[in-house]
Structure 1
């Protein structure tokens, strides 16, 4: 390891999943485990990078070979002592071993780390694998399989690790157990326990990877909706069906994982998170600061409303998280909002948060078309789609969303504030989209003066 450490640090700094761009990695291995691949050795390292402002824990799967990997130039990291080191997910032997470890529910006792596989359904035999290009925070391996329930499987390898359950794993596993037809079926996961002197008990635990059905060649709802809005095509039937799908997802999660009454502490915790976000947004986006008092009044009023029960939800729902398939709408990516801490993403929450996220996404369709070189006014299209989505949700769930309009507005404002932070950091030209929503919703939902 010491011989290849310089190569590894430089290679990590160039990867899209490396979280601290522009910094020189300062690496410290805190755990590792091995797998004999026959003519190669898989070595998965848990590495802390102390070069960031706050240390970041990475999972770095490597494959060491005595001869070059055919076609592996793009995944080559370095060489030492006659061995060739490659990025694990790009090596077919590692990819097959990863899926086998989950399917066989294997346990591996490594150096300061214990790894355990969990199987939900046997995915079948691997024929070939490849890495999905374009991802940033994780690495996904696509498998062609045979002898199982589907033809294609995807395994997501988490590069940045956190203590606690990853909701992308646990939520989709719950939906698979519950028989949901609105998600790709889950097959298994890989979980690790490693040393962490900063935690009570001296250990941390979290997910390393998970596998599920892969649905190739499908258009996500954002692209479908954007095309419809640009052409002025009615989208209300699709939006209604999407509302039904989201409601059915919520019902399955509530049945499998249970619900929690929204007591005083739960309400206070949710509103505290919203208020913290306002503080951040007001500091970064002056236009948000102009509405801070009105937003605060909306949140104060929400504190005294009747809140429905809390449960596991999607957590970051928008049109890009839905795929249109022959089986209808499929929801994907249950990791929750990236800016939220991992433990917070797995907490029981209001289904209204998901509804608010999708409503904001319809507004974004109209907002994005307004930014085209030849602007399109799709505000009426977005209004109709929003209404149809809520109608579908109500029809399936029996929950009268419109009777909770004030609470829904509070959560939609929170989502728009989140968007304003994102746009100010990444796409300043689009900042007007969430700002318009904040102004409209804050004015509509502001408590009437005495």
Structure 2
């Protein structure tokens, strides 16, 4: 089954030829966006999957960006990706929207119109909330809501200006809409998981109150509206604040470990575990990802033998806790603290991985390893590096986790090391593509993890 939506004859509810007017503009604009996944693969073609007029002056598009396939030892990436766009059109662009400006169409039915990202326009963002408040359909799009939720109208929108692979709009400090940018067919875990946990009464995860999907060309989740926690602070900011002040963070890390264990227990109840983990197949997949990353980032090559040893040890070690649904991309930026409580958000998983893989049961050690890597990331944001700060946080997190989960990640050394190594390899590839200045952070971990016992 394909991992991305691919072109086929479309059913448009906006004037035919829209992409003829927009194609050249989008070809130049898309690769510059933070959430564009194909930065290392030039766009060879753009094709429309669907175009729907959400309301006058605002188009919803699903476009397919084709790339030249680049074979790697880990396999050939898909030749293209599907992206969700909301575009507003005006004859005259207001100065406050200049940063959202994509270009001015010169031909086709939209000739003469200024085209810009609609999420930057308060009017368009408010009208999008109105669609979410009133379930219904618009062309291939379906808007749904929790019947028990009552979202008020007229909430002022605020587009979050943060680095992420999607786009988020906060409405009146009461709700937050996550708009998925890279679309894959199927139910997105960021809708599926919070809804399942809410049904169990798990309060660690904000429940979805409204969402929208597409049925054409294949069913896929497009966006989710959830309660916003206005007084909450993300774990990354809290950790950096503690480092800057020279404060200890172990009490917070211990509480966070307990909270994450509670979420894992709820996940195991909502999605029955798949039984013992299959370490052999997991090790093979990790080796394939390592080969692909080393092909893209030559700086990894000297460490490949040592990293492979970590994966080989995984294949023969204790399987550890049963495989189950997990967060999949856990780090300090994916947790919020409000008062004394920790909350877990963003269950989408690693967007670069196929959606089916992100929904597959995996070892909960994967999430633990992600958080341990995040403590190391935080410690390296200040000079001199504070390795003892990171070590104490890692120990406290694992201790808190063990106290609630009933098993201790630190006693699964080979399993934890393999998952931490796999995470560091992912980080190297991510930083090389998106934030080259950050590459030394995961590379320092690679050097440590390539030595047995690291």
TM-score, with structure 2 as normaliser: 0.81
Instruction: Verify the 8 A CA contact 1:154 1:212 in the aligned structure 2.
Output: yes
| 5+ residue gaps, structure 1 | 145-150, 196-203, 370-374
Measured after TM superposition, the shift of residue 115 of structure 1 is 2.9
Cα distance in 1 for residues equivalent to 2:344 and 2:28: 32
5 Å-filtered alignment, 1:49-448, equals 49-50=65-66, 54-63=79-88, 75=100, 78=104, 80=110, 87-92=117-122, 94-108=124-138, 110=139, 113=140, 115-119=142-146, 121-127=148-154, 128-135=156-163, 137-144=165-172, 152-195=174-217, 204-216=218-230, 218-262=232-276, 266-286=278-298, 288-307=300-319, 308-326=321-339, 328-369=341-382, 375-426=383-434, 430-445=438-453
The C-alpha deviation readout for 1:18-55, integer Å capped at 9, x for no partner, is 445595674322223344x4xx3543222223466523
The residue that corresponds to 2:76 in the other structure is: none
Match of 2:29 among 8, 14, 19: 14
Distance in 1 of aligned mates of 2:144 and 2:27: 26
Q: 2:50 aligns with which of 21, 24, 31?
A: 31
Alpha carbons 2:167, 2:178 under 8 Å: kept? yes
Q: Distance in 1 between matches of 2:316 and 2:194?
A: 33
Quick one: structure 1 residues 136 and 5, their matched pair in 2 at CA, closer, same or farther if it must change by over 3 Å? Answer: farther
Q: 1: CA distance between counterparts of 2:129 and 2:18? A: 30
Distance 1:415 1:51, change over 3 A: closer
Change (3 A) 1:74 1:121: farther
Q: Is the 8 A contact 2:375 2:393 kept in 1?
A: yes
The CA RMSD measured in Å over matched residues stands at: 3.2
Deviation at 1:392, TM superposition (A): 0.5
Change (3 A) 1:120 1:155: farther
Question: CA separation of 1:89/1:349 partners in 2, compared to 1, >3 Å: closer, same or farther?
Answer: same
Indicate if the aligned counterparts of 1:47 and 1:59 stay in contact, CA closer than 8 A.
yes
Report deviation, 1:137. 3.4
SS in 2 for 1:191: strand
Corresponding position of 1:198: none
Q: Which runs of 5+ in 2 are unaligned?
A: 1-14, 70-78
SS in 2 for 1:125: coil
- Aligned 8 A contact 1:232 1:381 in 2: no
Counterparts of 2:43 and 2:385 in 1: how far apart (Å)? Answer: 46
The structure-2 alpha-carbon separation of the partners of 1:437 and 1:74, relative to structure 1 and needing over 3 Å to count, comes to closer
C-alpha change, 1:398 and 1:73, in structure 2 (3 Å) is same
Q: Distance in 2 between matches of 1:67 and 1:296?
A: 58
Question: Structure 1, residues 193-226: CA drift from partner, whole Å, max 9, x if none?
Answer: 223xxxxxxxx22111111122346432222212
Mark the CA change 1:432 to 1:385 in structure 2 (over 3 Å): closer, same or farther: same
The separation in 1 between residues aligned to 2:340 and 2:209, in whole angstroms, is 19
Secondary structure of the corresponding residue to residue 368 of structure 1: coil
Q: Deviations over 1:46-84 (max 9, x none)?
A: 222346652332222345579978965655664747877
How big is each residue's C-alpha offset from its partner over 1:224-253, in whole Å with a ceiling of 9 and x where there is no partner?
A: 212323443211101101101111111111
CA distance in 1, matches of 2:234, 2:358: 23
Deviation at 1:398, TM superposition (A): 1.1
State the shift of 1:350 in Å.
1.0
Q: Secondary structure at the match of 2:144?
A: strand
In 2, the alpha carbon distance for the partners of 1:294 and 1:71 equals 53
Distance in 1 separating the partners of 2:301 and 2:144: 48
Say if 1:217 and 1:4 are closer, same or farther in 2 by CA, change over 3 A.
farther
Deviations 1:340-376 (A, max 9, x none): 222211211111001011111112223332xxxxx32
Q: Distance between the aligned counterparts of 1:365 and 1:241, measured in 2?
A: 18
Deviation of residue 310 (structure 1)? 1.2
Supply the distance in 2 between the matched residues of 1:423 and 1:298 (Cα, whole angstroms).
22
Displacement after TM superposition at 1:6 (Å)? 3.3
Q: Deviations over 1:121-160 (max 9, x none)?
A: 524212222322345532322212xxxxxx5111122222
Instruction: Tell me the SS of whatever aligns to 2:279.
Output: helix
User: Matched residue of 1:141: which SS?
Assistant: strand
Q: Report if the CA contact (8 A) 1:88-1:95 is conserved.
A: yes
**Shift in Å, 1:333:** 2.0
